[in-house]
Amino acid sequence: TQLLEQSPQFLSIQEGENLTVYCNSSSVFSSLQWYRQEPGEGPVLLVTVVTGGEVKKLKRLTFQFGDARKDSSLHITAAQPGDTGLYLCAGAGSSNTGKLIFGQGTTLQVKP
Amino acid sequence: NAGVTQTPKFQVLKTGQSMTLQCAQDMNHEYMSWYRQDPGMGLRLIHYSVGAGITDQGEVPNGYNVSRSTTEDFPLRLLSAAPSQTSVYFCASSYSRQGARSTDTQYFGPGTRLTVL
């Protein structure tokens, strides 16, 4: 069974601080996705990484896929209150059925 | 496009009652799935479908049934509701077909918040 462990589960920081969220597994994933979810809504895709060592940037968000494709990180620079939400990583196995395994999520609160 | 729609948004059931959560998408997506979200556990896959007439079980299928008679609709049935099924349920769809890429974006509906007393 493939599992994804996210850390930390909760993060409360001040506006302007930097933070990193980690997503780790003992299994290899063919791709990894990061989603953001706001209260009362469904998750929305932020990025997909597919190549070991890949780094993608989305404004102040930087996503990295580990060389062995077993882990990933999300780094936010100069966090803003609008970044508040639940961040979820999701890994796809090699079977290519479209199935995703989700991590537990990281709840981020950015205080003004 | 409306995307993925789910009804109802909220539902309260008594133990033993049955009900159907509705999910529809207008993007002509082949792949549809149902997840449940519980605090501290992320999203767990209940059932999924890679196309009309084809369904399969996910991680936590017990107590739930699905069918896929059309590409657009993928209802989730609770046969005999139990308090353990209190959760937020999300339906999702993506372009992925069986054997297709695992990198396709999954589009989620707004969720159904279910409470079983």
pLDDT of the residue at B105: 82
Are B110 and A93 an interchain contact pair (Cβ–Cβ within 8 Å)? no
pLDDT of the residue at B41: 82
% pLDDT > 90, chain B:
77
Q: Are the C-beta atoms of residues A93 and A79 closer than 8 Å to each other? A: no
**Alpha-carbon gap: B80 to the closest alpha carbon of chain A (Å):** 26
pLDDT of the residue at B101: 55
Q: Is B42 a residue whose pLDDT tops 60?
A: yes
pLDDT of the residue at B34: 96
The alpha carbons of chain B give a radius of gyration, in whole angstroms, of 13
- Region B12-21: what's the mean pLDDT? 97
pLDDT band, very low/low/confident/very high, at A88 (cuts 50, 70, 90)? very high
pLDDT, tens digit, for every residue of B70-108? Answer: 999 999 999 999 999 999 999 999 886 554 456 678 899
pLDDT of the residue at B99: 44
Query: Is the model more confident about B105 or about B49?
Result: B49
Give strand pairing partners of A110: A13
Residue owning tokens 């205080």: A111
Q: Are the C-beta atoms of residues B21 and B75 closer than 8 Å to each other? A: yes
Q: How many Cβ atoms sit within 10 Å of the Cβ of residue A73?
A: 17
Are B43 and A43 an interchain contact pair (Cβ–Cβ within 8 Å)? yes
The closest alpha carbon to A105, from B24, B77, B90, B29, belongs to: B90
Chain A residues touching B101 at Cβ < 8 A? 96
- Region B41-60: what's the mean pLDDT? 91
Q: Are the C-beta atoms of residues A105 and A87 closer than 8 Å to each other? A: yes
Q: Is A45 a residue whose pLDDT tops 50?
A: yes
- Probe site for chain A from B9, B90, B106 (most A CB atoms < 10 A): B106
Q: Are the C-beta atoms of residues A3 and A104 closer than 8 Å to each other? A: no
Q: Is B30 a residue whose pLDDT tops 70?
A: yes
**Alpha-carbon gap: A61 to the closest alpha carbon of chain B (Å):** 18
pLDDT of the residue at B77: 98
Compute the CA torsion angle B10, B15, B18, B19 (nearest 10 deg).
0
